[in-house]
Amino acid sequence: MNTPILTLKNLKIHPKNSSSPLVDDIGFELNRGEILALVGESGSGKSITALAIMRLLPDALHIVGGQVMLGSDALFEMTESEMNRVRGRRIAMIFQEPQSALNPVQTVGEQLLEVLTLHRNLLAEDTQADVLKLLDEVGIPDPQLRLNWYPHQLSGGQIQRVMIAMALACDPDVLIADEPTTALDVTIQKQVLELLQGLRVQRDLAILFITHDMAVVNQIADRVAVMCRGKIVETSRCDRFFRAPKHPYSQGLINALPNTDTYLRIEPDRKVLRVDNLRVWFPQRTGFMQKVTGYTKAVDGVSFHIGEGETLALVGESGCGKTTTGRAILRLCPRTRGQISFGNHVIHDLTDSAYRPYRRKIQIIFQDPYSSMNPRMTIGEIIDEGMRALTRDIPAKIRNDHIRNLMHRVGLRDEHLLRYPHEFSGGQRQRISIARALAVKPSLIICDEPTSALDVSLRSDVLHLLRELQEQDGIAYLFITHDLTLIPSFAHRVAVMKEGKIVEQGYAEEIMLRAEHPYSRELIAAAPKAPILLASASHD
C-alpha cells in the first residue's frame, strides 16, 4: 500500500474574530503519481485549502485546527525559514490569477531564472538552456524571443503557461494546480493536461488539481473530492463519481454541464454588425530611435457579420486575435484597415462625437469583471456612471428605477447596489457586468470569455440569463470563448480564428460536427469531452 505524500487531517479555517468556518474539518490523502481533483462552486473553500497547505493564507484568516503532513513532515510545525525551503522545491503551486502572481517589472526569463537559482543553487549562466526547455515544454511559441518579454506583453493563456513552467522548474514532489487551465484554449489545455499526466508518470508527481471544469476532471483525475460550503461531501474514484454520484450536490454539479446534443439555428431579419477585411497591426520598434522594423499582425483580414438576436461564437487559440477583434470593433484599440458597419452605417471612421451614440448600442462584458470595476465605487454608482455618460437625457429617478429592475433581472437585490465589488463572488460580479452592459439597452454585446472563471452551476446560470435576455430583447452577441462545449447550447454560428485570420465559419452544427478546415477539426478534437450525464440514474 502506498504511503501518502500529502495528508490533510481535520483542517479548520476561520476568519479572525469569527466562529463561522470557511473550511470545516476536512481531510484527504494524496498519493505519489496520483491526480486528485478538488471540485466545487466558487466560495466552497478550494483555494483557501490550497493556500493553507502552502501556509500562504492572508492575515484575515486563521487556522483553528488540523494538520498537514508532507510525507513525515508536519508543515504547520515548521518555522518560516524551513517552509521557504519547502515552497517551490517540494511543493509547487500554480496560482489561479497568474497575472497578479508574476512580477510586472521583471521579464519572463528573469523570473524563471530566479526560481532555478534560488531553489537549485545554480548559476544564471547554467540555467539558460533549462529555462528555454521549460518554456518550450509548456507550449510558449518562440521561447528565445519571449524570454525577454514582460508579463503584460503575453496573452492570458501564455501567462498561465509561464506559471506552469515556474511551478515545474524544480521537480517538486507535490504540485497544487489552482484552476491551471481556466485561461487556456482547448489545444493548449490539451497539451498542458497531457504534460501534467506525463510528468506525474515520469516524476511520480502527486497533483492536487483544483478546477470547476468537469470535462477536465473526467479526462485527467484519478479521484474526485467534492467541496460544498467548506466541507468535503463526497470522495470517489473518478469513473465511479461520474457514473453514480451519491451526494445531491454532486449530482447538481454534473447536471449543470451544458447540453452538447442539440444545436441552435436562427435566420435573422437584419444584420446588426458587419466587419469587412479588418486588420489590426501593431508596429515592432527597435533601436534607440525606435524605428519600425515590422508588424505584429494581431488581426489580419477578418470578415464576418452578426444578425439581430443571433450569437456568433469566435473561437481559437490564445493570441489568435479574438479579443483584439472585439476591442477594435469598440475602438478600444486602433484599427489599421478594414470596414466596420453597424446596421446600415459605416462607423469605423466616425469622429469621437459622432461615434458616441454607437457606444450605447455596442457594449462589452469583459473577461475579468473585477478588474473592469472601480473598487472605490458602489455597484449602483458603477452602473449609473455608464448611463449618465451615454443617456444624459434620462432623469435620475427613471435611471434609478431602471437600475433596480436590471438588478432583479440578473438575479440580484436592491441592497446589492450599496455594496462594493470586493463584496461579491465571481459569479455575482459577472452578473453585475451583464447588468452594466444592459443598462443602456444595447443592440450588440461583445462577450469576452464571460464564463471562463465561473464554476459549472454559475456558468449555467449566466448562459441561461444571456439566452433569456436575447430572446426577450433581440440582443446580438459576439461570444468570444475557448470553451467549445458551450457552443451547441448557446451559439447559432461559429467563426474559427487562427493567427489573426478566420479560417472557417458557418452554422454551429456544421462546424462542430462536419468541420472542413484541419485547424477546426484539431480544435474540436482537442476539447475535453464532458462526461455522460448519468446522475439522474442514481435516483432510480
Backbone angles phi, psi at 3, to 5 degrees: -85, 125
Query: pLDDT tens, position by position, for the chain (540 residues)?
Result: 467 999 999 999 998 888 888 999 999 999 999 999 999 887 788 989 999 999 999 888 889 899 999 999 999 999 999 998 898 889 999 887 677 788 889 999 899 888 888 777 666 566 778 888 888 877 788 888 888 899 888 876 678 788 888 888 888 899 999 888 776 778 778 877 887 888 788 888 999 999 888 888 988 999 999 999 899 999 999 989 988 899 999 888 888 777 777 898 888 889 999 999 999 998 888 888 888 888 889 999 999 999 999 999 999 887 789 999 999 999 999 999 999 999 989 999 899 889 988 998 999 988 777 888 899 999 999 999 888 888 776 788 888 888 998 888 888 888 899 999 888 876 688 888 888 988 888 999 999 988 776 777 777 888 888 898 899 889 999 999 888 888 998 999 999 999 999 999 999 999 999 999 999 999 998 888 766 544 344 443
Grid cell, residue 88, equals: 517551490
CA dihedral 391, 393, 397, 402 (to 10 degrees): -40
Calpha distance 386→390 (Å, rounded):
6
Burial per residue of 222-238, b for 16 or more beta-carbon CB atoms within 10 angstroms, e otherwise: bbbbbbbebbbbbebeb
CA atoms within 13 A on the CB side of 159: 19
pTM (predicted TM-score)? 0.76
Supply the pLDDT for residue 124: 59
Calpha distance 92→462 (Å, rounded):
33
Q: Which pLDDT tens digit goes with each residue over 13-34?
A: 998 888 888 999 999 999 999 9
Architecture of domain 6-255: 3-Layer(aba) Sandwich (3.40)
Q: Which pLDDT tens digit goes with each residue over 460-501?
A: 888 888 898 899 889 999 999 888 888 998 999 999 999 999
**Positions of CATH 3.40.50.300 in the chain:** 6-255, 271-375+440-533
Supply the pLDDT for residue 540: 38
Calpha distance 450→133 (Å, rounded):
33
Supply the pLDDT for residue 122: 64
Q: What is the CATH number of domain 271-375+440-533?
A: 3.40.50.300
| Sequence-distant (≥ 6) Cβ neighbours of residue 285 within 8 angstroms | 291, 292, 293
Grid cell, residue 335, equals: 484599427
- Asked whether the beta carbons of 502 and 496 are under 8 A apart, the reply is yes
Calpha distance 58→51 (Å, rounded):
9
CA atoms within 13 A on the CB side of 177: 33
- Asked whether the beta carbons of 94 and 183 are under 8 A apart, the reply is no
Grid cell, residue 139, equals: 507550449
**In whole numbers, what is the pLDDT of the chain averaged over residues?**
87
Q: Which residues pair with 292 in a beta bridge?
A: 285
Q: What is the largest CA-CA distance in the chain?
A: 74
